[in-house]
Amino acid sequence: MTALHSRAIGRDLLRRDGRLKVTGTAPYAYEGPLGKPAYCHLIQATIARGRVTGMDTTSAQAIDGVITVLTADNAERLASTEDNELAVLQSDEVAFRGQIIGAVIAETSEVARHAAGTVQVTYAQEPHDVELSVDRADLYKPYKINPAYPTDTADGDVAAAMASAPVTLENTYTTAMYHNNPMEPHTTTALWDGSLTMWDSTQGVHSARSVIARVFGFDHEQVRVVCPYVGGGFGSKGTPHAHVVVAVMAARATPGRAVKLALTRQQMFFLTGYRTPTIQKMQLAADRDGHLAAIALDVVEQTSRIKEFAEQTGMPTRSMYAAPNRRTTHRLAALDVPVPTWMRAPGECPGMFGPEVALDELAEQLGLDPIELRIRNEPSVDPDSGRPWSSRNLIACLREGAERFGWAERDPAPGVRRQGDWLVGTGVAASVYPTYRMAVSTATLRYERSRYVVEIGAADLGTGTWTTLPQIAADALGVDVDDVDARIGDTDYPIASVAGGSSGMSTWGSAIVEAARAFRDKFGTDPADGDEAEGSVSPPTGKYAMHAFGAQFVEARVHADTGEIRVPRLLGVFAAGRIINPRTARSQFIGGMTMGLSMALHEQSVLDPRFGHVVNHDFADYHISVCADVGDVQAHWIDEYDPHVNAMGSKGIGEIGIVGTAAAVVNAVHHATGVRVRDLPVTLDKVLAQLTPN
């Protein structure tokens, strides 16, 4: 791979879409000017399992302004019902509470919502089961874990190493159920006039199109999906959920008239996916110097009865540290619950919680600094694949972080620093995230009115794509970045992979570099107006194990009397290849760390076993970090250029910020108080219960 000479790459450039965003005029999926749209409001099941035996829509139909009511009785039959989550209104079966059982289409949003509430539903209810536990008899081994990794791995003999090693640790850690909760609710505006146009809040217009085309049996050419701006997604907008299907049904019921369907915040807790809770049994065996003899992680998690999603929680343990004996397993319970999905760093985020807290505990047992323990177990090649690292600078991150954070003066003793009423401690954890490059993406480069225009159906979730793609194109063409425009977020532009797995820049950027090469080969440096070339990404060679690494450092203060936890300082150092735009990159890193802090201290979806719903299904009760919860958050990176990952030498950065953060918080709380909380979130009741009064 020939390296790009970087002039625009690496520059701190303002967001190109910034002005639209600070004035609120960037059009999100609900916001296009569309004449007189109709509005759609969903009707949801109020039981967690059973059948709908009747829906009386008479009073709803009679309300002035109601256009029609869709139910399983009158909704169109879908061409493909293979994906049960999307087979909406196709049968009377209810598989989880909150499932869509109907929809009202009306002249205004008020009428639609009011009418939806008047529909009388009767059910044949069956007993449901929504409780995940580690000892369920029906836990099963999925065929693969997300997206296509082996379910279990084993090397050597962990049991023998546990029996013979001088120092061992065996603990269970749990992470909660979390909801992505992007700030912009999931929304689809759909217009059917023989072909379909969807303004959908999505992380991938092309993937949304292919899913909808398959479900309805449309040709791709019949479907256009538009989404220039996304109000966050964090995975939940990575693939269409059931409401998108309903929006299209609604549009087809009102041909020629656009229909708007915006989920309410509450509905999102049932319908747009979430991160499964995980139960992580962790085993470590080590010699007295801290060299690991064994590392094992056995994970239990949930999926829904109608669709499997197997979070790859054991993945980071497969690669992170050296140990001759190793094992990871995943077992699932299929419950009467909504369908789980991707949430920021699926696998790595929950999967670095147990292991990174366990390492902190092992360091304490050994009387070794937790950074030193990690350094001693640095693997020379990827323990999972046996392949060499394309680059691995975890140690550099740990060392630089230690330096910046002031780790050297740290007294390792837990629970001994008191300032006034506050117990003070610090903690560290490592992070990892794979560097993916998707197999399919194409960019077009055109010379248009003396400017270079890149077109690709990519997405900007706040990640900076509008700004960073021109930076890559400028360097690939050898022109000034101000002479390059980007056009994204529309299936009228060439196919682009979904913005997921932190793969956007690597994938789309690679396609742009290829397009620029083709353009220069064809037209030289003096192109004519309208000259155009195309380029596509090529799959990775598979020669190297490719990952970004990082380390998070946390200062925690715990109130000695109340157990209240504050985090005044959060510092991350990352090794993520070349940084395309330091401004947008810093925002991604601090955003990820802030979400990790939120996961550590605040977030938890509480599922009521009696009714099968998340009781805290709004922002009053599902707490995410607010401004006052967040202190000094710093992101730094080491100067890394990785020639093997892609032509830019860059790795994805959207997810790694969250990965180790929760473990670092827990480790800092332990250092402050001596209390080890192994179940997220770390709330004051859990700390207070073990805090010895003094």
Cβ closer to another protein: 172 or 587? 587
Cβ closer to ligand FES: 183 or 626? 183
Residue 474 CB partners (closer than 8 Å, separation 6+):
7, 8, 452, 480, 481, 483, 484
Q: Which of residues 230-269 bind another protein (CB under 8 A)?
A: 230-232, 234, 262, 264-265
Q: Which of residues 272-301 bind another protein (CB under 8 A)?
A: none
Residue 130, both tokens = 């929504």
425 binds, among another protein, ligand FES, none (CB under 5 to 8 A by kind): none
Residue 132 CB partners (closer than 8 Å, separation 6+):
277, 279, 300, 301, 302, 333, 335
Residue 335 CB, nearest approach to another protein (Å): 27
3-state SS, residue 138: coil
Residue 21 CB, nearest approach to another protein (Å): 3
Half-sphere exposure of residue 85, counting CA atoms within 13 Å on the CB side? 22
Q: Exactly one of 348, 364, 603, 655 is catalytic; which is it?
A: 655
Question: Where do contacts with ligand FES occur on this chain (CB under 6 A)?
Answer: 183, 232, 462
Residue 170 CB, nearest approach to another protein (Å): 34
Cβ closer to ligand FES: 234 or 389? 234
**Nearest-angstrom CA–CA distance, 160 and 82:** 45
Q: Count residues contacting another protein (CB under 8 A)? A: 64
**Nearest-angstrom CA–CA distance, 227 and 212:** 15
**Nearest-angstrom CA–CA distance, 200 and 188:** 4
Residue 183 CB, nearest approach to ligand FES (Å): 4
Asked if residue 566 binds another protein (CB under 8 A), the reply is no
Strand partners, 40: 105
Residue nearest to ligand FES (CB): 183
Residue 481 phi, psi (nearest 5): -65, -25
Cβ closer to ligand FES: 457 or 591? 591
Asked if residue 19 binds another protein (CB under 8 A), the reply is yes
Instruction: For 37-69, give the DSSP string.
Output: -EEEEEEE-SSSSEEEEEEE-HHHHHSTTEEEE
Cβ closer to another protein: 22 or 163? 22
Residue 214, both tokens = 């398959």
Cβ neighbours of 162 (radius 10 Å): 18
Cβ closer to ligand FES: 183 or 413? 183
Asked if residue 18 binds another protein (CB under 8 A), the reply is yes
Residue 388 CB, nearest approach to another protein (Å): 34
Strand partners, 572: 552, 635
Residue 400 CB partners (closer than 8 Å, separation 6+):
573, 636, 638
The one segment of 46-54, 205-213, 223-231, 676-684 that binds another protein by CB under 8 A: 223-231
Asked if residue 173 binds another protein (CB under 8 A), the reply is no
Q: In what order do the strands lie in the sheet with 196-200?
A: 66-71, 100-106, 38-44, 259-262, 187-192, 196-200, 223-226
Q: Which of residues 28-47 bind another protein (CB under 8 A)?
A: 28, 30-31, 33
Cβ closer to ligand FES: 462 or 494? 462
* Ranges assigned E (strand) in 512-601: 532-536, 547-559, 565-575
Closest CA to 263 of 244, 238, 249: 244
Q: With beta carbons less than 8 A apart as the criterion, state whether 225 and 202 touch.
A: yes
The residue within the footprint of another protein, chosen from 8, 15, 227, 279 (CB under 8 A), is 15
Q: Is the peptide bond before 147 cis (omega within 30 degrees of 0)?
A: yes
Q: With beta carbons less than 8 A apart as the criterion, state whether 331 and 342 touch.
A: no
Residue 462 CB, nearest approach to ligand FES (Å): 5
Q: Which of residues 92-121 bind another protein (CB under 8 A)?
A: 108-110, 114
Cβ closer to another protein: 201 or 283? 201
Residue 489 CB, nearest approach to ligand FES (Å): 16
Asked if residue 632 binds another protein (CB under 8 A), the reply is yes
442 binds, among another protein, ligand FES, none (CB under 5 to 8 A by kind): none
Residue 274, both tokens = 């979430």
Asked if residue 583 binds another protein (CB under 8 A), the reply is yes
Distance separating the N- and C-terminal Cα atoms of the chain: 62
476 binds, among another protein, ligand FES, none (CB under 5 to 8 A by kind): none
Asked if residue 62 binds another protein (CB under 8 A), the reply is no
Asked if residue 431 binds another protein (CB under 8 A), the reply is no
Between helices 465-477 and 504-523, what is the axis angle to 10°? 30
650 binds, among another protein, ligand FES, none (CB under 5 to 8 A by kind): none
Asked if residue 594 binds another protein (CB under 8 A), the reply is yes
**Nearest-angstrom CA–CA distance, 311 and 303:** 9
In order of 17, 509, 531, the CA distances from 450 in angstroms are 22, 22, 11
608 binds, among ligand FES, another protein, none (CB under 5 to 8 A by kind): none
Amino acid code (one letter) for 182: P
Length, in residues, of the chain: 694
Whether 409 is catalytic = no
46 binds, among another protein, ligand FES, none (CB under 5 to 8 A by kind): none
Residues with catalytic annotation?
A: 655
Binding site for another protein (CB under 8 A): 14-15, 17-28, 30-31, 33, 108-110, 114, 181-185, 229-232, 234, 262, 264-265, 461-464, 583-584, 586-588, 590-595, 598, 618-620, 624-634
